[in-house]
Structure 1
C-alpha cells in the first residue's frame, strides 16, 4: 500500500471515528468481545439473533432489519483485568528478580451503531468498534523480562452495511469493513548481544517492535423467524490481512554504541469469525437466548518481521494459536413496561494452551457470569447497564526446551487472573415512532 493511500485510509478511519463520537455514537486471544452493554447482560447469548438490539450488528449485520425507523446506540465498557505471573523459584533461574506485578491494564472500550430504515424492505447502517486490543505491562525488571515487557495492540473498525428484508421470515445484510491495526511490543535486551551466554540483567534496556496498517474485509449475516417467537441469527466477520509497516529498535550497546532503528514489514491476518444465535420467547415477559461462536485463530501462524530494505528476517512472532469457541446461555425478564432484567453464563475455550502460552498473553479457558438491567425512559430513549465477572481456569506458563518462545532461559510460573467488566449503553430513536415506516416483525418480547 502506498504511503499516500495509507495516509488517506487512516484519515478516513479517524474522521469516521470523530463523527461517531460527536454524534453520540462513538475475547480469547487479543479479541475484544465487549461491544454491547445490552448483550453483555446475557454473557452475549443470542448476540447474533438480536439480543443486543442494534449493537447485535457487530456479530450479525442482518439484525438492523429488526430496528424500525432511524436509531442509534452508544456503548462504553470498563474492563478491569487482574493478572499476575508468579515464577517458580526452583525451576526459573531468574526468579530472584520477582513476580510480574499486575500486568493487566484497565481499559475503556467504546462502540457505536446507527441504522436508518429507507422503506419496508431496505435499511442502511454503520458501526464503529475496536475488535482487537491488548495492553499488558509488567514491572520493568522482573523474572520474565527476557520474554516480555509491555505489549500493546490497538484496533479501530468502521463497518457500513446494507440490510434487506426478503420476506416476513428472512432478512440478509452485508457490508465492507475498514480496520486500523497497531502493535507495539517491548522486551529486555542483553548488552552486548555479541557475547555468548549473555543473559538479561535488571536494568537492561528494551528492544521495541512497532508497526501499523489499514486493512479491509467484510461482514455478512442473515436472520430467520421460522415461527412466531423464534429468531435465529447467523453472522460472519471476515479475516483481515494487514501488511504492517514500522520499526524495530535495538538499544544502544546491543550491537552498536548507539541505538539502531531498522524499518520493518510484517504480514498479520486477524481471524474470521462465525456467530450463531437463537432467541426463543417463553412467555410475554420472558425470552431465553443461546449463543455459539467460532473464531479462526489458527490463521495467525508465525508472522515474520523482515527488514523493509533488504527482506532479511529480523524476528519471528510465534503465535500458532488454535481455534477459539464460545458457548453462552442467557435470559431476560420484563418486570413492566420500563424495566427488564437480564442474566447469562458462558464458557470460553481459549485458543491458547500451555504448549504455546506466553508471558505477553497468559490466556486460558474461562467462565463468564453476567447480570444486566434495561430501562425504557420513553418511546425514544432507553438505557442499559451490565456487569460481568470472568473466572479464569488455573493457568501456568512453561517456557522450557521445546516451547516456541524458548531462548535458552527456562521460565516456569503460575498465573492468577480474573476480570471485571462494567458496561453502559444508551439507545435513541431519532424519528417519530408514530409515523415511521413499519419494520420487520419483532418476535422477541422486551
Structure 2
C-alpha cells in the first residue's frame, strides 16, 4: 500500500513543472482536464472530466473503480492588444503607441489520481494551477506607467478522501495546499530633471509569494441510472504574502507584505444519458471574486501603505452545455459551449488584466487505446467582447496621475491533451462479517 500511495503522489507532483497563463475569469485557471474541456467544462462537477473532475468536485472519484491516474497538458495561446485613445491619453505618452500583443503563450499541467481502498472508500490527489497570469506588453508604450509585465503563478496540492454512502450518494473532502507568487512591473513617471523620459523610464517591481491552506468538498447524487448531479466547493485560501517593492529613483523601496484571500468556487454539474451512446452535460460555476477587493501593500520598514492593488472584482458566473457521443466502443467525440460573466468590467479593468465576458466553443475526442489506456484531446476558442480600459485621475488605477485610455481586442486558443491509465482490477467487495453462535 505504501508503494501505491507514493506513486499516487508522484503522479501528481510530476505535473507541476511549467508556467501558466490565465484563462478563466480574472486570473483564475480552469484548464484541469482535457476530457472536460472538450465539452467547455459542462458537467465537470458531475464527472464529465473523469478523475480530473475532482478539481471541481472531489466526490467524483467514487465513479471510477480501481486505481486510476490522469495527466493533462494544456497550451494556452492568449492574444490581446491595447490601442491608446487620442484625447483621453496623456499627450506625452500617446506617441509611444499601443501595447502590441500582451499575451504570452503558456502551458498548464494538471494531474489527478484516485485509488479505491474498498467498496466504500477512495483516496485521491489532484495537482495543478488554480490561478495564473502572464501578460507582457512592449516595454515602451503609452500605458507603461500602469503596467509593463504581470506574472502570477500558483501550485495546488489537494489530497482527498471520498466515501460512497450508498448506491446513490457519495461525499468527499480534503485540504487544499496552495502556493502563490506574483511579480508586477510598471514604468516610473517621466522626471526630466533626472533624465527620466517616457522612452527610457526604468521599471518598478512588486514581488512576493506565500503558502496557504484551504479545503475542498463535494457530493454526487445518482437518483437513477443515467443521471448524475454533482456539487463541489473550493474554499478561499488566505495568503500572507511577503515580498519586496523596488522603486528606482523614487523613495520607498524595501520589504513589503500584503494579505490576499483567493475566491471560493461553487460548481454544479448535471450529466444525463439520453441513449446508451450519448450523454448531455450542463454546468454552472460561481467564483466569489468580490472578496478580493482592494489590497494594501504594507512597507515592513515604516508600517505604512507603500502602494495598493485596487482589484475590486465582481463575482464571476459561468454557464456551459456539452455533449459526448460514443462513435464506437473505442472512440468518443465531444462538443460544448460556454458563456462566462467576467469579474472584470470597465470600472476595474486594467492593462495588466484586460478581461471581459467571453464565449467559448469547444470540440474534443477520446480514444481507448487499450483496456487500460485512454487518450483525450480538446480545442477551445474563446471570443472576448471588445472593451475599454481606463487609468489615471478618477479611476481605480491611477499611477502618478498619468491619464490613459485604450481599446482592447482579445481572444484565446486553447489546446489540451491528456491520458487516463487504469491499474488493474478494482478490489473485491469486503467480506460479510462472520456470525457465530455460542
- Global fold match (TM > 0.5): yes
Match of residue 165 from structure 1: 164
Give 1:90's match in structure 2, choosing from 65, 83, 87.
Answer: 87
Residue 287 (1) aligns with residue 279 (2): yes
Counterparts of 1:191 and 1:147 in 2: how far apart (Å)? Answer: 13
Deviation at 1:25, TM superposition (A): 8.5
After superposing the two structures, state which structure 1 stretch, 16-25 or 204-213, moved more.
16-25
State TM-score, norm by structure 2: 0.91
Cα deviations by residue, 1:42-69 (Å, 9 ceiling, x for unpaired): 0000000000010000000000100100
Residue 76 (1) aligns with residue 73 (2): yes
Deviation at 1:254, TM superposition (A): 2.5
Give 1:320's match in structure 2, choosing from 292, 312, 318.
Answer: 312
Does the C-alpha gap of structure 1 residues 32 and 200 become closer, same or farther in structure 2, counting only changes over 3 Å?
farther
Match of residue 8 from structure 1: none
Deviation at 1:201, TM superposition (A): 1.1
Give 1:412's match in structure 2, choosing from 381, 405, 408.
Answer: 405
After superposing the two structures, state which structure 1 stretch, 398-407 or 267-276, moved more.
398-407
Match of residue 428 from structure 1: 421
Deviation at 1:191, TM superposition (A): 5.8
Deviation at 1:438, TM superposition (A): 6.7
Q: CA RMSD in A?
A: 2.2
Match of residue 203 from structure 1: 200
Counterparts of 2:391 and 2:61 in 1: how far apart (Å)? Answer: 47
Counterparts of 2:193 and 2:71 in 1: how far apart (Å)? Answer: 53
Deviation at 1:92, TM superposition (A): 1.3
Task: State whether residues 70 and 418 of structure 2, in contact with CA within 8 Å, keep that contact through their aligned partners in structure 1.
Answer: yes
Counterparts of 1:25 and 1:201 in 2: how far apart (Å)? Answer: 39
Deviation at 1:309, TM superposition (A): 3.2
Say which SS state the counterpart of residue 96 (structure 1) adopts.
Answer: helix
Residue 311 (1) aligns with residue 307 (2): no
Does the C-alpha gap of structure 1 residues 24 and 96 become closer, same or farther in structure 2, counting only changes over 3 Å?
closer
Residue 216 (1) aligns with residue 194 (2): no
Match of residue 250 from structure 2: 254
Cα deviations by residue, 1:203-255 (Å, 9 ceiling, x for unpaired): 1001100000000000000000012111000000000010000110111x234
Match of residue 99 from structure 1: 98
Does the C-alpha gap of structure 1 residues 53 and 25 become closer, same or farther in structure 2, counting only changes over 3 Å?
farther
Cα deviations by residue, 1:263-312 (Å, 9 ceiling, x for unpaired): 11100111001000000000001100000000000010111111123311
Superposed counterparts of 1:120-199, under 5 Å: 120-190=119-189, 192=191
Residue 19 (1) aligns with residue 18 (2): no
Task: State whether residues 388 and 421 of structure 1, in contact with CA within 8 Å, keep that contact through their aligned partners in structure 2.
Answer: yes
Q: Runs of 4+ in structure 1 displaced over 4 angstroms? A: 15-18, 21-26, 191-195
After superposing the two structures, state which structure 1 stretch, 92-101 or 288-297, moved more.
92-101
Does the C-alpha gap of structure 1 residues 269 and 23 become closer, same or farther in structure 2, counting only changes over 3 Å?
closer
Task: State whether residues 130 and 157 of structure 1, in contact with CA within 8 Å, keep that contact through their aligned partners in structure 2.
Answer: yes
Deviation at 1:436, TM superposition (A): 3.7
Deviation at 1:24, TM superposition (A): 7.2
Counterparts of 1:51 and 1:172 in 2: how far apart (Å)? Answer: 17
Instruction: Structure 1: give runs of 5+ residues left out of the alignment.
Output: 1-14, 440-446
Residue 337 (1) aligns with residue 329 (2): yes
How many pairs are equivalent? 416
Instruction: Structure 2: give runs of 5+ residues left out of the alignment.
Output: 1-5, 18-23, 431-438
State TM-score, norm by structure 1: 0.90
Give 1:271's match in structure 2, choosing from 259, 263, 268.
Answer: 263
Counterparts of 1:383 and 1:20 in 2: how far apart (Å)? Answer: 17
